[in-house]
Chains A and B, each alone.
Chain A
């Protein structure tokens, strides 16, 4: 597997500009001859599709929802980072780079992270120009809020719906290109295979979710912007439809999968209530700016929060991490929540919860101020938990949230398969072993607006346009396999619904490959996953036919992929015999219970090569170099 990341030479601050100067481009006259497929219409997909179409490329864009606007990015709440230094509090490209590297526990590629920090400011400019109504101060200037894990205020936001507004911005640009005939938008259409000819990605096979028709689309390059795989845990903060299908099927066709075990468990979600719960609702991390997190000092304390006097409250983050307090990075906050709950101090009916309290913020800053900041989040909480956080503390608990792992990409965002690119959450990205808040949208939009529209030219310019059409035999073969798989799912004579298996897989994964992991548990999971997969293929019932709108069939196909992918996640978690960021191996912790990295043996990206379902995959390494920022132990205590 060729893992040359193609990082440009020169000092880190000059790499990107130098790269643009040096790479090959496709000229405006030639662009209309090239057809590019983009799978996904979230922040990454919509920004890439609209930017490339406006440059002149012919774009086909796909999503499984009924409208591109409904991609999961719409749900992002808190905000987006940019090193604007509007607050004059010492922010800079270097500081954003530093925060991201440190937050990711030194497991990302420096050159990419620097580029991300560098491009962050242009994203805000782009979005504002599209009419994204960012929060403004009285004088009309953009407002900022702070987010976990950093010492500056650099987060831009639109109330609690920043994702929706940024996606509507990107989608409006996409709408314009669709209207102009430059983008062909395929909604309710799902990618089911990537077609490879002579080692290069040449197109995809899709299913029309309304009619069930299976068809092929050829292109000169394929870009996957299909989001993350966190629904492997069944219960997560992700939308129900989020899946690993696109990236997994690309992986099975040869694209290397990087760091699958890095998954972020977000510290502030509403705790699960019952067995049939379908998702966990995130409460924006921005709440930690004003809310104080605590549990009763006494284990199994049954009193109401209001009855617990101040001295009997354990503000564990403030006590354990005086400098960052409630704003420690997400992994640290999640692990500490699990820790106090494991010690019996958890609150709520299941004991899996901690308080997030606004009492002091309301008395210090005034109810009005807190209301404008979090009013809609309070309403959201009240609706779900039927408690009013203005009067009584919220209950929160960590929930699987974001996939740092994904398809391996080089500096041009191309996977190990020539012609196949991955952007946004679908790639292994710039967040190392842990992502800082408000930085995913930044990465999705940097990839889509500013990186891929240029770097894809370097690949396309080396190949003539339209070499292969969708009547090539490789497409027929892939279509046949898709048909066969569909038929197989529909003909299983079982009686258990798909959801039942998804719940089983989720439970197994959260127990053995969740907030903390150990070798024994992972080995056990590696035994149980294939058994579960076999039972699925024997006992599931997928009603209906393949020639109609069939949501059970959609879910079954996605779960079948998760059941294969889960194994890879556990292999990776077992193989990485260190703790770093969100990957907390119980065997490796410092005396204070922090992650204990092993830089000597593990300062690399793990890139996996598929060897067949159920076969031990091969792990390759991309060594990480630390030139701009020397390795250091992460410390949020002092």
Chain B
């Protein structure tokens, strides 16, 4: 198969960046999209050029590192699929394909197609945890969890933190990611003690990072490689409401580590 690629090139965060055109030839349909870029990069290296920078690691759809906007869609045309799981057989032979980085003010470009998603980690640090130290804990069977609830929590925590939801959203909102993280813990008994303060802190951090607000476009769910349900956004909004109407429970203060 043969493809014409319009690829975003940008030296670093300060550089303005622009598209450059590349041809790849002789690609087998069983080549993955990233392997196709590997082939292009090897050719560029052999001919004295500079390879294209892009992020990837696991190459099996779980680490959340790969992050390309392909023909205007985060992770490309195939639903419920990360870029690394996309195969060239999903494209017509001879196609022209544009490849861009995640576009969001909160995800500055590092180089070419690689971006900085540390904003996501800061949202987690704001409250995406249960305060427990390492050491003896009760047997989990002492706290039975309805399997339906547990599965629903897992539906949320299956989010791989890739950032496609932000890239897909016309408004650059990070609601789906934050909602997935908040919902996971708020559904489980272990997450109850810090439930109110968690949602408030995480949402505040999300806003501080400069992500846009949610206008219900629904593109996040459509382009999310893990099909995280947009219902979780509703869940988070209810959590937030609940947290604001319930009297603040800051009686125990921040648990102090020794």
Pairwise interchain contact B136-A386, C-beta atoms closer than 8 A: no
| Alpha-carbon distance between A72 and B59 when the two chains are bound, in angstroms | 11
Q: A54-B133, A133-B188 are in contact. Are A75 and B60 (CB under 8 A)?
A: yes
B153 interface residue, CB < 8 Å from A?
Answer: yes
Verify if B50 is at the interface (C-beta below 8 Å from A). yes
Contact B129 A133 (CB under 8 A): no
Contacts of A139 in B (CB 8 A): 144
Taking the nearest CB of chain A, how far is it from the CB of B158, in angstroms? 7
Select from chain B the residue with minimum beta-carbon distance to A210.
B110
Q: Could you tell me the distance between the alpha carbons of A161 and B191 in the complex, rounded to whole angstroms? A: 21
Q: Which of A136, A163, A496, A543 contacts B51 (CB 8 A)?
A: A543
Answer whether residue B16 sits at the interface, using C-beta atoms and an 8 A cutoff: no
Whether A72 contacts B57 by the Cβ 8 Å rule is: yes
Give the residues in chain A near B191, CB-CB below 8 Å.
131
Q: Which residues of B contact A137 (CB under 8 A)?
A: 147
Q: Is the CB of A239 within 8 A of B58?
A: yes
- Contact for B42 among A129, A142, A279, A500, CB less than 8 A: A500
Chain B contact residues: over half helix, strand or loop, or mixed? loop
Partner-contacting stretch, out of B62-70, B168-176, B216-224: B62-70
Are B132 and A130 in contact, CB atoms less than 8 angstroms apart?
A: yes
Residues of B within 8 A of A239 (CB): 57-59, 63
Q: Are B35's CB and A278's CB within 8 A?
A: yes
* A164-B158 contact in complex given A124-B140, A140-B145, A386-B89, C-beta closer than 8 Å: yes
Within 8 A of B (CB), among A211-260: 239-241
Least CB distance, B70 to chain A, in whole angstroms: 16
On whether A274 and B59 interact (CB within 8 A), knowing A173-B129, A175-B125, A549-B53, the answer reads no
Question: What A residues does B61 contact at CB under 8 A?
Answer: 380
Interface residue range, chain B: 35 or more
| A281 at the B interface (CB under 8 A) | yes
- Known contacts A129-B132, A187-B118; A543/B50 CB under 8 A: yes
Q: Are B134 and A47 in contact (CB under 8 A)?
A: yes
**Contact residue among B56, B154, B188 (Cβ-Cβ distance under 8 Å from A240):** B56
A51 touches B133 (CB 8 A): yes
Q: How far is the CB of B170 from chain A (nearest CB, A)?
A: 25
Q: Which stretch from B24-32, B91-99, B229-237, B244-252 is at the chain A interface?
A: B24-32
Q: Given that A165-B157, A168-B157 are contacting pairs, would A180 and B257 also be in contact in the complex, using a CB cutoff of 8 Å? A: yes
Verify B118–A241 contact, CB threshold 8 A.
no
Q: Which residue of A lies closest to B60 (CB)?
A: A281
Nearest chain A residue, comparing its CB with the CB of B43: A497
Establish whether residues A67 and B118, one from each chain, have CB atoms under 8 Å apart when the complex forms.
Answer: yes
A residues near B110, Cβ cutoff 8 Å: 210, 549
**Taking the complex as formed, is B116 at the interface, i.e. its CB lies under 8 A from any CB of chain A?**
yes
Q: Report if A632 contacts B (CB, 8 A).
A: no
Q: A180-B257, A187-B118 are in contact. Are A129 and B190 (CB under 8 A)?
A: yes
Chain B 117-173 residues near chain A, CB threshold 8 A: 117-118, 120-121, 124-126, 128-141, 143-147, 150-151, 153-154, 157-158, 160-161
Contact residues in A for B137 (Cβ distance below 8 Å): 122, 125-126, 128-129
Q: How far is the CA of A111 from the CA of B80 in the complex (A)?
A: 46
Inside 8 A of B188's CB, which chain A residues have their CB? 131, 133
Query: What are the residues of chain B within 8 A of A130 when measuring CB–CB?
Result: 129-130, 132, 190
Identify which of B51, B125, B134, B161 contacts A126 (C-beta below 8 A): B134
B39 interface residue, CB < 8 Å from A? yes
Tell me if A66 is interfacial: C-beta within 8 Å of chain B. Answer: yes
Whether the pair B28, A70 counts as a contact (CB closer than 8 A) is no
Pick from B65, B134, B150: contact of A136, CB under 8 Å: B150
Q: How far is the CA of A68 from the CA of B120 in the complex (A)?
A: 11
B153 cross-chain contacts in A, Cβ below 8 A: 131, 133
Please pick, from B64, B81, B136, B145, the residue contacting A69 in the complex, using a CB distance under 8 A. B64
A166-180: which have CB < 8 Å to B? 168, 171-173, 175-176, 178-180
Task: Name the residue on A nearest B133 (C-beta).
Answer: A54
Query: Are A278's CB and B58's CB within 8 A?
Result: no
B63 near A65: Cβ-Cβ < 8 Å: yes
Neighbour of B57 across the interface among A138, A158, A241, A380, CB < 8 A: A241
The one of B32, B48, B60 that contacts A495, using a Cβ cutoff of 8 Å: B48
What 1/0 mask marks residues of chain A from 260 to 301 whose CB sits below 8 Å from any chain B CB? Answer: 000000000000011011110110000000000000000000
Contact of B59 among A185, A279, A496, A497 (CB under 8 A): A279
**Is B49 in contact with chain A by the CB < 8 A criterion?**
yes
- Asked whether A107 is an interface residue with its Cβ less than 8 Å from the other chain, the reply is no
Chain A residue contacts of B35, Cβ below 8 A? 276-278
Are A125 and B62 interface neighbours, CB within 8 A? no
Residue-by-residue, is B180-192 near A (CB-CB < 8 Å gives 1, otherwise 0)? 0000110010110
Q: Does A551 interact with chain B (Cβ within 8 Å)?
A: yes
Q: Are A176 and B129 in contact (CB under 8 A)?
A: yes
- Please give me the residue from chain A that is nearest to B46 by CB atom: A495
Which 5 residue pairs spanning A and B have beta carbons closest together?
Answer: A140-B144, A128-B140, A172-B129, A125-B137, A51-B134
Starting from the known contacts A133-B184, A135-B147, A164-B62, 13 additional A-B residue pairs (CB-CB under 8 Å) come to A68-B121, A75-B60, A122-B136, A133-B150, A133-B154, A136-B145, A141-B141, A178-B125, A239-B63, A278-B34, A281-B59, A380-B60, A495-B46
**What residues make up the interface of A, taking CB atoms closer than 8 Å to B?**
28, 47, 50-51, 53-56, 65-70, 72, 74-75, 86, 122, 124-126, 128-131, 133-142, 158-159, 161, 163-165, 168, 171-173, 175-176, 178-180, 182, 185, 187, 210, 239-241, 273-274, 276-279, 281-282, 380, 383-384, 386, 449-450, 453, 495-497, 499-500, 541, 543-544, 548-549, 551-552
Question: Can you pick out 20 interface pairs between chain A and chain B where the beta carbons lie within 8 Å of each other?
Answer: A51-B133, A54-B133, A70-B63, A74-B63, A75-B63, A126-B132, A128-B140, A129-B132, A131-B184, A142-B140, A142-B141, A164-B160, A239-B58, A240-B58, A274-B30, A277-B35, A384-B85, A453-B134, A543-B45, A544-B50
